[in-house]
Amino acid sequence: MSRQVVVTGLGAVTAYGLGRKIFWDGIKSGEPAIRAIDWAGWEQAPIQVLARVKETVPENESRSLFWAREALREALEMSQPGRDGGLAGAIGWPGPEEEGEDPLAKLASETGIGGPRLESLAACAASTQIIGEAFRMIREGETDWMAAGGADGRAHPGGLMGYDRLGALVRGFRDRPEQACQPFGRERTGFVVGEGAGFLVLEEKERAKKRGAKILAEIRGAAEGCDGWRVTDPREDAQEAVACVEACLRDAGIRPEDVDSVVAHGTGTPANDRAEARMLAQVFGEKQPRLNAPKALMGHLSMACGAVESVLAVQSLAEDFLPSTVGPFWQADPECPVRMVQGKGEKGVRVVLKPSFGFGGQNACLLFHRA
C-alpha cells in the first residue's frame, strides 16, 4: 500500500513568541529574534547572544515539554483530525532544576491521542527524522494521521556552556546580535542557541479531503542516514549527506531540477555550511535552487530545528513565498556557492527540500510539494 500524505495542521513556538503566525510574520519581516543575553553576571562572558522564548514556563516544568505542548495544541486545533491517530516527537531533555518525565506519554495522555508513538533522539536531525517516520507510517497504511514534530529548550547557562566547549557557538556580538549568525556567509563563526517547538499534523490525503480539512502542502518523500564521521564535524566530502538527499528525491519521485527551494540546515558554523554547500553543488549542479537559512533569525533549536523549519517550508508553499533570512551585511563565501534568497523574498514556490544534519553525522531530509 502506498498512499498520499498531506499536511493539515501547523504549530510553532520560537523566540518570536507563541504561534505559527507570529513565527511566520517574524521570519518574513527579516528581523531576528536573537537578542543580547540579559542574565546577571554574563556581561563579560564569551557567549553574548541568544534566541530564547520570553513567555513564562511553570515552575519546575521542562521548557521543552511546555513548548511541545503549545505547538502540538496549535497544530491539532488547526487540523481537528480526531483522536484515532498517532504521535511522533523529538523532545529535548529537561534542563537544570526541571522535572524529568516521559514527554510523549504525557502529551498523548493530555491530548487523548491513543495510537502509535514514535520518538527520535538523532541530535539536530531528530525532528526531521521523526516527521519522515510518521510520513511513512501513514503512506504504508499503518495509521491515518500523525502529529509529528519536536521541541527543545537549551537556552540556559548549562546548554550554552556545553555547546561552547564544543567550539560551535558564536562569541561576542552583544552590540549587534542581528549579525551574529551568518549561514553560508564569509564572516560566519558559529551558531546561536535558540529554543522552541514545531509540530505538523500529517494525514492521508483522501481522509483529509473527505472531512473537508484545509490541505496546506503534500509531503512526498523522506530519507535518513548517518556518516559517523566525527562527534561534531560533518563528513568533509559530504557523500553521506548527498546520499541522504538523493534518497529523499527518489522516494518522492522528484528530479533535482524540479526542486525550486531549500530551507537549509545552515547553522553558521564553518564546517557544516561548507559541507552542506558541497552537497547542494553535487546534487543540483549548475541549476541551484534558491534557499533560506532560518537559524540566522531564530537561532539553532537543536532537536526541534527540523520541525520548526518544516513549518516554515509548508508555510512557504501555502503562501507561495520564500522569505529572505539574511541582512544587507551578509557577504557570500566563495567556499559556499549557494543561491541565497536576499531582499524581500521570492515567489514561485512549488517544491521545497528540507535537509537536516546533526552532530554524530545524523542526516535526514524531507520533500514538501505544493498541494
232 — alpha (psi -120 to 50), left (phi > 0) or beta?
A: alpha
Residue appearing with cell numbers 531564530: 298
Strand partners, 364: 224, 356
CB atoms within 10 A of CB 347: 9
Whole-angstrom Cα Rg for the chain: 19
User: What does DSSP assign to residue 97?
Assistant: T
Quick one: 295 exposed, middle or buried, by C-beta within 10 A (0-12, 13-18, 19+)?
Answer: buried
Cα separation of 150 and 157, whole Å?
21
3-state secondary structure of 346: strand
Helices (H), the chain: 20-29, 63-79, 103-111, 126-139, 157-165, 205-210, 239-252, 270-284, 295-298, 305-319
Cα separation of 331 and 342, whole Å?
11
Cα angle 17, 20, 21 (rounded to 5 degrees) comes to 85
Residues with Cβ within 8 Å of 214's Cβ and at least 6 positions away in sequence, in order, are: 8
Which residues are part of the catalytic machinery? 124, 265, 300
288 — alpha (psi -120 to 50), left (phi > 0) or beta?
A: beta
Cα separation of 52 and 184, whole Å?
23
- Read out DSSP for 12-36? EEETTEESHHHHHHHHHHT----EE
Residue appearing with cell numbers 559541507: 275
Strand partners, 223: 365
User: Do residues 130 and 148 make contact, with C-beta atoms less than 8 angstroms apart?
Assistant: yes
Residue appearing with cell numbers 543540483: 284
